[in-house]
Structure 1
Amino acid sequence: MASKNNWQADQAGNTPEDNVDKILETLPELNKLLSDISGKSEEQQGITNQISTVARSLSAPSVLTHNSSDGKLIMRLQYHFRLLKLKLGKLEQFRTNLEAELDKHLATLQALVTDLDSSRVSSQPWHWIKRDLQGIEKKISDLLYQLPLLSGKSENQKATAYGDQDEGDEVHQEKAYTYLPGLHTNVEVLIRCETFRQVKQKFIDLDIERKMCLLSFAVFPENREVHRTVLMYWWIGEGILPVQGAEEAVRDILNEFTEKALVEPVEERRKVAPSSYKMNPFVHSSVIHLAKKVGIFDIYSGKYNKPITSKSEMGKVCIVEGSAEAALGENPLKIETVFNVSERDLDSTVKWFSKNPRAYRRFTINSSEAGFKSLNVFYLGRWERSKKRHIQVQNHELMKCLKHLTKVKVLSFQGISTIRSLDRSVCKLQHLIVLDLRECYELTKLPEKIDSLQNLVYLDMTGSYMLEYIPLRLALLKKLEVLKGFVVCDSLYESVACKLIYLKNLPKLRKLSIEINSDDLSVQDLTRYLVELKALTSLKVTWRRELDFVRDPPTGGAVKEFLRTMTMTPKFRAPAPFVFPSQLKKLNLQRFPDRVLPSWLQPKKLLHLKKLHIGGGRILKGFGDLPEEATECAVEVLRLTSLPQLRVGWIELKQLYFPNLTFLENYECPRVTLTPCDGSGIWKSDQD
């Protein structure tokens, strides 16, 4: 108690920012002590072995005893405190209530560190401190959710047109830019310009689908980079692109626009080919005018022609920051597309779906309106490549609206940080093709009945690092082609989690990225799963070995019955000798865990692979035995990043291991020597 009082005295007069910094310094120390003590306890008592051998019922898994620390809980605490630090700078009036809370939590955490570091500590400390940590997490999380409601909107937020979408430091994320009017604000001048006449003629020559695609650029700010994937998702939802072959179709459209000088590809030194596009101001103003004349997009209808949220004649709604509450016409629900251009606070969008918009906190869904059935694209997430715009939804009633959007094909929540779980109403979206959950940092679980989305083709969870497991029934999505962010979890979730071996039931799976959160899956183990994925052309694997800890297992009453209906074999049977899949063209291995490459991954065996990226392998030393003559390796693009122990020279690399190499990235690989890479670590054969 004396030490606790001393810390409280030391913290007198400290600001909340100071306390947050000290808490962030304390948490890693706490995690390390817990890991050390848990390791000693397991070594002495054999706890881990006992847990792994306990047989559990599939229908009612038993709750296991917790003797090791929950690293994800501490990670969530760190995330909450970091996010809190960003928001504290704006909320001076919140300091009074916050200071006492932070002082208490800091004293509690530092007292725990002292107790754990003492000789009196128990060999099983997680029992008596887990509740304290969970209580702190809940209180801080609740405080975070109150912050936007207390802060309101600043004057520059209300005045901005698009907000800050530039790359840069995070402390400038709320900075707003003054809107500069374009040529479209003066129609008489615009239509007399030669550029407008050229754009108009090129527009007339396009077919109807490509006209719609070109006019889509009207919603983006001029000269802003738009990634090809965003356009593809959007155009799929509009019915412009076919679901099958959409990636090739969007490339063809953008290549045609590039040839006609309607858009410009964004050249990046680290990219083999451009993946983002932008439109210059003159063409952009012409497209804005054409889009308004056609009636497809009309966001420049506010005072002084500034962007404002409005519904076009064709039912397209673009949400602009500071105006999401704008009137959407007599029947605001008859819309086909909702696209979030620049809004950060999406709570006001709930009003569109409420019977009583003025009292949307007492939410009553307006389900009688037929307009719900017309919505095809619900793009609430972030479209920018930059992560500067933090999007939040405090009113979680918005999630309940989803079950009424029966025709929606594209649903994007990218970058919405306050989504912790998807409402089960998502499972009612029978026509959903694209579910975009990228960078939903708070997301911890998906609905168990995800197999209801039988038309789902794209499921992207990249950057949603808090996901604990993937529901077992995902393996029943027969149309799924792209699956990113798949989590390989520890054994505690095996009764309800989808395993890699189950993915062989997805006959169309082309692209897969995996996050491995356990020590059970090695590089060699990948072979048994690769051979089962017959259509796979692109694979990314990331090992996260430090995330090996014991957590509460979820329960699922229908799991046993579901497993009986699966057309898969639960137990693995030894496969034939592994041969590298000929259809796999792109392989990305991050945080590579071994010292040497397995035999099947050595260059001489890569007869069909075109792109190879190995990164973050702290102990990888080489590519195998040095061949006497050039191999038949087909790799053309090679990326080597953060491999401090890898030792190879340029002559061996280019002439023996990878003779067909045309592109090399060499980043933080000090022992990869004498390469002709530039200052950015890039070499291209056409510029040699």
Structure 2
Amino acid sequence: MSTREATLSSDDTPSIHNSRTHSKFKWSIRSWAAHVKAKRRISKPKLLENHHNTASNTSDNDDHHDGALALSKLIRQDFHFMKEEIAKIKNYVDHVDGQINQAYKEFEELQTRGSREGELHEVKKDAAKLKSRIPSQLRIHSADSNPHRNSWPHINKSSNEMMNLYMEPKSESTMDSAHLLEAFNDLPHYSQYFLLCFFLFPPKAVIKRRVIIYLWRSEYSYWREDLANVVLDRFIGMGFIEPVYQRCSFVPDSLRMPLSVRSALSKLAMGFVNTSKYNTGEITECCITKFSTLLNVDNAIIDGKLLEKGTDFHALYLGRWQSSATHHIEVADNKVLQGLKNMKQLSFLSLRGISMITELPTFISELTSLKILDLKACHNLEVVPDGIGLLENLTHLDISECYFLENMPRSLANLSRLEVLKGFFIGDSKNNGRSCTLEDLSRLQKLRKLNIYTGVKDFPEEGQLIALQKFEALQNLTISWGGYSSTDGSNGIPETQNLSNKPDLSLPSTLQKLNLQCFHGTSLPSWLRLSNMKELKKLYIRGGQLCNLEKSPERTANDQCTVEILCLKYLGDLKMDWEDLMILFPKLIFLHNVECPKLTNIPCNKSGVWKRQEGH
């Protein structure tokens, strides 16, 4: 499905032009309407001024009569004008509606014949493009993104979220307020700040560990994430916070503070955290010593006034922190981001899930204190400036689910302190000759987590595997295959020989977690040798055409696969028996099976979960 561009013709009529590229809305309905209204405002004073000059030479009766005639004429003109413009808008809406109906028809056909996850990813991208063409006034009042939605706690209680989350059974903290305060005051300063981060969010808020850790590391960047998790686990043991598990997950990935703890610490927190109304929602600000944070609690529209609140923020969380993607946020216009220009101390910036951002301002390269930049699901983002390579302190960059991005700036390879990179896109090398390559990225010796999205069926090829083996610190790798565009997926690396003649080519042996999404092969590829990956503990395979995992030959204890956690989801063709699975994964302690109907004799519970019992 091609994307389309709406532009204004000379007579202010919206005209639709086909485009093979991901073009943006140069004039949205909102800006076009504002443009026309401005023209009307300019014309009115002239008519009234001419009438006033004439009326000054007449009697009062004539003045009233002529004034009534002039006003009647203006009103009539306004109604004629509105009817004409509404007709133009209807034509535009009918055109877009036709595209939406066609896309929905294709989706229904996929559902009827049994769609694979890779195909659904493509439909999701097309839907995102069409959604971006709906005028913002309509989109923000949709059922899933109402800016006047109920205040907390309902904001975090969509039915889907509540079905996917459950609280670990435990009682409220047994300590009274006095003992809680005493325990808090005994904590080190960095731990106190960690806990106060929870007061940025509404009561009963379910918060991802990632969000809390990012807020904390923006101030204490020298703390590793694994140590941050140790501190959080200590808080759980002390009763300050409690874990919230993703349904069927092995470890808790979300947290919240019990109301009893929040109540006990609230007076103390009030000295550091302030919540205030803004537009139709709320914002919270936190200031501890010289470190200040601003968080968008539930505003659907981000405008320039919000960024006028100060330039000394260290952490700015404007985007979506809620787990559910139904919380729609957008910027009033691209100029809003100009308010970031003087925030030289900013170390953490989240624009996650914010629509209508088409490009980052070039001055982003001047914010050299940035350590964490979260751009996930900025669906309208088309360009990441090459100057991003000047952010010498950047450790985390997330550009996943930015479907309009077609090129990765080569300067990414200059981010020598980068530890996490999500959303690295690899396309057809013929069309992405100037895009950053895996070979370029291999210079990043601190990179430990890499998420790759590719539209190339044969990825990874020889040159890419050689490049991946150069990532000495890489522990977590995700590869997602989308719509296939070419068999040449070298992305700047010359075409190479078939991998079957290269038995030594495989993924890095340092990997501890591997996630494969929508893999096209029917059996595990030659580059995935589980017995050679001695550090691999977690293996996730989601969607695709796998038919078998191939039972391994008899091996010694030293050659056995080390995977302990295995998640198999939406693999309709995967055929394997429990006995064979245990031979392949002898150290397995946790299995999650979702919609893999041809796996037989699997002793999972109703949720598709199997856990090894202690002593077995």
Q: TM-score, normalised by structure 1?
A: 0.64
- Is structure 2 residue 563 aligned with structure 1 residue 635? yes
When the two structures are aligned, how many residues end up with a matched partner?
Answer: 498
Structure 1 residues 101 and 377, CA, compared in 2 at 3 Å: closer, same or farther? same
User: Which letter maps to 2:294?
Assistant: V
Contact preservation (8 Å) 2:477, 2:514? yes
Does the residue aligned with 1:444 lie in a helix, a strand or coil?
coil
Shift of 1:635: 0.7
Paired position in structure 2 for 1:284 = 262
Worse overlay, 280-289 or 517-526: 517-526
Q: Tell me, in whole angstroms, the C-alpha distance in 2 between the residues paired with 1:388 and 1:675.
A: 35
Q: Which residue of the other structure, out of 582, 594, 600, is the alignment partner of 2:509?
A: 582
Structure 1 residues 389 and 96, CA, compared in 2 at 3 Å: closer, same or farther? farther
Q: Tell me, in whole angstroms, the C-alpha distance in 2 between the residues paired with 1:548 and 1:313.
A: 51
Structure 1 residues 576 and 653, CA, compared in 2 at 3 Å: closer, same or farther? closer
Paired position in structure 1 for 2:242 = 264
Deviations 1:584-623 (A, max 9, x none): 11111111111222334244333331111122122x2222
Paired position in structure 2 for 1:296 = 272
Q: Which residue of the other structure, out of 143, 162, 168, is the alignment partner of 2:159?
A: 168
Query: What are the within-5 Å matches in structure 2 for residues 377-456 of structure 1?
Result: 377-456=315-394
Paired position in structure 1 for 2:302 = 346
Contact preservation (8 Å) 1:164, 1:388? no
Contact preservation (8 Å) 2:304, 2:339? no
Contact preservation (8 Å) 2:572, 2:597? yes
Q: Tell me, in whole angstroms, the C-alpha distance in 2 between the residues paired with 1:570 and 1:197.
A: 63
Does the residue aligned with 1:604 lie in a helix, a strand or coil?
helix
Q: Which residue of the other structure, out of 652, 655, 672, is the alignment partner of 2:599?
A: 672
Contact preservation (8 Å) 1:315, 1:337? no
Structure 1 residues 311 and 599, CA, compared in 2 at 3 Å: closer, same or farther? closer
Q: Which residue of the other structure, out of 193, 213, 216, is the alignment partner of 1:232?
A: 213
Contact preservation (8 Å) 1:214, 1:287? no
Q: Which residue of the other structure, out of 466, 483, 508, is the alignment partner of 1:528?
A: 466
Contact preservation (8 Å) 1:527, 1:578? yes
Contact preservation (8 Å) 2:464, 2:493? no
Shift of 1:104: 4.5
Q: Tell me, in whole angstroms, the C-alpha distance in 2 between the residues paired with 1:617 and 1:581.
A: 22
Does the residue aligned with 2:135 lie in a helix, a strand or coil?
helix
Contact preservation (8 Å) 2:284, 2:296? no
Paired position in structure 1 for 2:90 = 99
Q: Which runs of 5+ in 2 are unaligned?
A: 4-17, 30-82, 103-127, 162-173
Query: What are the within-5 Å matches in structure 2 for residues 166-565 of structure 1?
Result: 166-168=157-159, 195-237=176-218, 239=219, 241-245=220-224, 247-292=225-270, 295-299=271-275, 309=283, 336-347=292-303, 349-350=305-306, 352=308, 372=311, 374-522=312-460, 526-546=464-484
Contact preservation (8 Å) 1:266, 1:276? yes
Shift of 1:423: 1.2
Shift of 1:437: 0.8
Q: Tell me, in whole angstroms, the C-alpha distance in 1 between the residues paired with 2:552 and 2:524.
A: 13
Q: TM-score, normalised by structure 2?
A: 0.71
Worse overlay, 666-675 or 404-413: 666-675
User: Which letter maps to 2:386?
Assistant: E
Shift of 1:485: 0.6
Identity across aligned pairs (percent)? 31
Does the residue aligned with 1:203 lie in a helix, a strand or coil?
helix
Does the residue aligned with 1:389 lie in a helix, a strand or coil?
coil
Q: Tell me, in whole angstroms, the C-alpha distance in 1 between the residues paired with 2:466 and 2:146.
A: 58
Paired position in structure 2 for 1:597 = 524
Deviations 1:304-327 (A, max 9, x none): xx99657667599xxxxxxxxxxx
Q: Tell me, in whole angstroms, the C-alpha distance in 1 between the residues paired with 2:538 and 2:204.
A: 31
Contact preservation (8 Å) 2:100, 2:130? no
Contact preservation (8 Å) 2:531, 2:562? no
Deviations 1:128-157 (A, max 9, x none): xxxxxxxxx999957624547999xx9992
Q: Tell me, in whole angstroms, the C-alpha distance in 1 between the residues paired with 2:196 and 2:149.
A: 27
User: Which letter maps to 1:633?
Assistant: C
Structure 1 residues 675 and 453, CA, compared in 2 at 3 Å: closer, same or farther? same
Deviations 1:563-600 (A, max 9, x none): xxxxxx97589999335533111111111111222334
Paired position in structure 2 for 1:623 = 549
User: Which letter maps to 2:334?
Assistant: H
Paired position in structure 2 for 1:651 = 579
Shift of 1:528: 2.2
Shift of 1:534: 1.3
Q: Tell me, in whole angstroms, the C-alpha distance in 1 between the residues paired with 2:287 and 2:508.
A: 51
Structure 1 residues 244 and 220, CA, compared in 2 at 3 Å: closer, same or farther? closer
Q: Tell me, in whole angstroms, the C-alpha distance in 2 between the residues paired with 1:502 and 1:591.
A: 26
Structure 1 residues 149 and 617, CA, compared in 2 at 3 Å: closer, same or farther? closer
User: Which letter maps to 1:339?
Assistant: L
Contact preservation (8 Å) 1:71, 1:547? no
Structure 1 residues 461 and 108, CA, compared in 2 at 3 Å: closer, same or farther? closer
Structure 1 residues 682 and 451, CA, compared in 2 at 3 Å: closer, same or farther? same
Does the residue aligned with 2:466 lie in a helix, a strand or coil?
helix
User: Which letter maps to 1:476?
Assistant: N
Worse overlay, 499-508 or 569-578: 569-578
Paired position in structure 2 for 1:366 = none
Deviations 1:302-356 (A, max 9, x none): 9xxx99657667599xxxxxxxxxxxxxxxxxx8321112211111534626xxx
Shift of 1:465: 2.5
User: Which letter maps to 1:624?
Assistant: E
Contact preservation (8 Å) 1:584, 1:608? yes
Q: Tell me, in whole angstroms, the C-alpha distance in 2 between the residues paired with 1:382 and 1:155.
A: 14
Shift of 1:300: 7.3
Does the residue aligned with 1:266 lie in a helix, a strand or coil?
strand
Contact preservation (8 Å) 2:449, 2:475? yes
Shift of 1:101: 2.1
Q: Which residue of the other structure, out of 136, 144, 153, is the alignment partner of 2:135?
A: 144
Structure 1 residues 104 and 138, CA, compared in 2 at 3 Å: closer, same or farther? same
Structure 1 residues 407 and 291, CA, compared in 2 at 3 Å: closer, same or farther? same
User: Which letter maps to 1:543?
Assistant: W
Q: Tell me, in whole angstroms, the C-alpha distance in 1 between the residues paired with 2:503 and 2:321.
A: 45
Q: Tell me, in whole angstroms, the C-alpha distance in 2 between the residues paired with 1:658 and 1:465.
A: 36
- Is structure 2 residue 536 aligned with structure 1 residue 609? yes
Contact preservation (8 Å) 1:166, 1:386? no
Q: Tell me, in whole angstroms, the C-alpha distance in 2 between the residues paired with 1:590 and 1:308.
A: 37
Q: Tell me, in whole angstroms, the C-alpha distance in 2 between the residues paired with 1:341 and 1:381.
A: 9
Paired position in structure 1 for 2:164 = none
User: Relative to total residues, which structure has the larger helix share, 1 or 2?
Assistant: 1
Contact preservation (8 Å) 2:407, 2:436? yes
Contact preservation (8 Å) 1:580, 1:605? no
Q: Tell me, in whole angstroms, the C-alpha distance in 2 between the residues paired with 1:578 and 1:228.
A: 35
Shift of 1:383: 1.2
Deviations 1:270-327 (A, max 9, x none): 22211211111111222222201xx21122799xxx99657667599xxxxxxxxxxx
Contact preservation (8 Å) 1:610, 1:634? yes
User: Which letter maps to 1:653?
Assistant: L
Q: Tell me, in whole angstroms, the C-alpha distance in 2 between the residues paired with 1:579 and 1:686.
A: 33
Contact preservation (8 Å) 1:403, 1:426? yes
